[in-house]
Chain A
Amino acid sequence: MEMESKYSISCNQGIAKVELCGRLDATNAPALQDELKKLAGQSISSLVFLAKDLEYISSAGLRAIIFAKQKIGVDTQVYLIGAQATVLNVVKMSGLDTFMTIQDNL
């Protein structure tokens, strides 16, 4: 019943899209964090997390997102797209909704 957790990152014209699936927790967040780190210095204007198929995000997952924002740049806009209620709930609880733009669709 549990979805395989994976993510893919694509980068085009200063817009980085990160597709998140399944679970993002302490077991796989560090790897995502390392991947995101590579975006630093590539003049990324928007960092878009596509979260439609994300089922679970823990504080470790949130940390990866905060980290990305800190590393990639102060001017980078962060978007969270299509997040499910459970994920949104966690984002709000941790106050991350204050620096991310939350949208249903792109």
Chain B
Amino acid sequence: MAKIVMAAKIENLRPMLNFISDMSRQLGFSKENINEIEIACEEPLVNVINYAYPDKKGDIEVSCNIIEDNGLEIQIGDSGQPFDPIAKVDPDIHAPLQERKIGGLGIYMMKNIMDKSEYKRDGDKNVLTLIKYIGEKDKSKGGSAAGEESFSWPLEYMKRETFKKGDILFKKGDAAEKMYYIKSGALRLTELNLVVGSGQVIGEMGIFSPYKERTASAVCEEDLEAYSMGKDEVIRFFRQDPAMAISLTQLSIKRFIENLKKETEARERLASELRIAHDIQNSMLPRIFPPFPDRKEFEIYAMMDAAKEVGGDFYDFFFVDKDKLCVIIGDVSGKGVPAALFMAISKTLFKTEAMRGLLPNETIENVNNLLCVDNQMCMFVTIFCLVLDTRTGQVVYSNGGHNPPLVCSYKACFDFVKGPSGLVVGAMEGAKAECGNIKLEPNDFIFLYTDGVTEAMNSKRELFTEERLQSALCKLRDQEITQVVQNMRQELFNYVQDAPQSDDITMVVLKYKGDGDVAKG
């Protein structure tokens, strides 16, 4: 219908809103509706003006289109920083605190006013699509193709069939032999949760698609009068009336494209949610190094690299009192969203329990009992929990089914911790855990990791193995701890090459420097 492009500047807000209200007026919206549409559009436009371009140089593109005869589709596009205004609860992050809780008001109103608000990152562009219908949108129409009504069906080629309410026309998986034109009544496509009514056609895919199987079941919602046409009739009809044949084919393709579009949109929405979940999960792990710049008794460095957008690995470190540093590494069974949820709970529980100053085995036992309650998915987490006394280098640890870390004494090479290892956490209520002890000398360090390291797979599906880990680490022992982790990551990249990352990869290195006096000396 129409499009304008303007510089993203506040003085252009009103011209852009005027453009949108002019378009709404042309389409026949009421004065109240036009006012609402302006209000709905103002917030996202102001967002782009204020935040999309950090250097304040860029354009906003506003386009208006008529859709489905009675809807106005407004698209607001910019090529600034990726930003999903719909997902953001509080877009006004620069506002002072007192104002913050009202920052989301504009977006709330936008969603309230418009019938549809959708954000998409399209290449290097943010595109916000807002749709408002005149009057109440006819829900029973679903997403069906406009223009079906204008198609006049060759009823003389078709067979009249009647069905009673509750009758099943076909079931999902049935052989698709014919298409139906619905003269009157309504039926429900149960798997799609879609109701189709008079004037619409279903099952045309069965004729045109190479996969002759029903993709959904059709049940009559009301008594139904339909006209059906099998493949042979379609062929006969095509020969007699090629123009109509083209129309029918177009109708079918149009529907196919719409379905595809809907699926793609759903997938993009999911992908966008996963990206947000990824950011949330990453922000749960301490990522600022060095984390305790004033503590000279030790150094610590860590990384987590999830195989999917979200993962089940985690690490954490914190002081339980002024001298005792607790370090945790864990790996939740499974991958993806379920693992990430379980990870969030586990990490919180471990920190809460450990902060009480318990021994590592007590922490593990308590968290195990807490996780066992209501753990119907039978998920579990492997954990290695240690507490370092920064004055003495004494380490107390407990292992809940986790890969044994490696300790590198400054004089010798890396070796696996040989102490006790207990059951995974969350699997069996009342399980006991044991403690082990290690004495770190200045410049000794501990390398903790998850099985994503040792089980990294190359394209021949061969594992990286503990042996390779050990020998790779021995070569890195004289390096800075950040280098140890980064070079180890590189070593893994080199090993797996083009094979996709099969599991989350997490590494934590803790180096003991000795107490203040020793560190100085």
Contacts and interface: CB of A to CB of B under 8 A. Distances in A.
Interface of A: 2, 23, 25-27, 56-60, 62-63, 66-67, 70-71, 85-86, 89-90, 93-94
A71 B97 CA distance: 12
A57 B10 CA distance: 16
B36 interface: yes
Given A58-B43, A94-B105, A94-B108, A63 B32 contact: no
B462 interface: no
Nearest to A96: B105
Interface in B1-41: 10-11, 13-14, 17-18, 31-32, 35-36, 38-39
B98 interface: yes
B39 A58 contact: yes
> Which 8 residue pairs of A and B lie closest in terms of their CB atoms, listed nearest first?
A59-B106, A26-B46, A58-B42, A86-B35, A59-B105, A58-B39, A66-B102, A70-B98
B108 to A, nearest CB: 7
28 contacts: A2-B18, A26-B10, A27-B10, A27-B14, A56-B35, A56-B38, A57-B39, A58-B39, A58-B42, A58-B106, A59-B42, A60-B106, A62-B102, A62-B105, A66-B105, A67-B98, A70-B98, A70-B99, A85-B32, A86-B32, A89-B35, A90-B36, A90-B39, A93-B109, A93-B112, A94-B105, A94-B108, A94-B109
A26 B106 CA distance: 11
A71 B98 CA distance: 9
Contacts of A2: 18
B13 A26 contact: yes
Give the most central of A27, A62, A66: most B CB within 10 Å. Answer: A27
B127 to A, nearest CB: 21
B113 interface: yes
Interface of B: 10-11, 13-14, 17-18, 31-32, 35-36, 38-39, 42-43, 45-46, 49, 98-99, 102, 105-106, 108-109, 112-113
Contacts of A57: 39
A17 to B, nearest CB: 23
B13 A25 contact: yes
A89 to B, nearest CB: 6
A93 B113 CA distance: 9
Contacts of B106: 58-60, 63
A5 to B, nearest CB: 9
B263 to A, nearest CB: 33
A85 B11 CA distance: 27
B476 to A, nearest CB: 55
Nearest to B101: A66
A25 B43 CA distance: 9
Contacts of A58: 38-39, 42-43, 106
A74 to B, nearest CB: 12
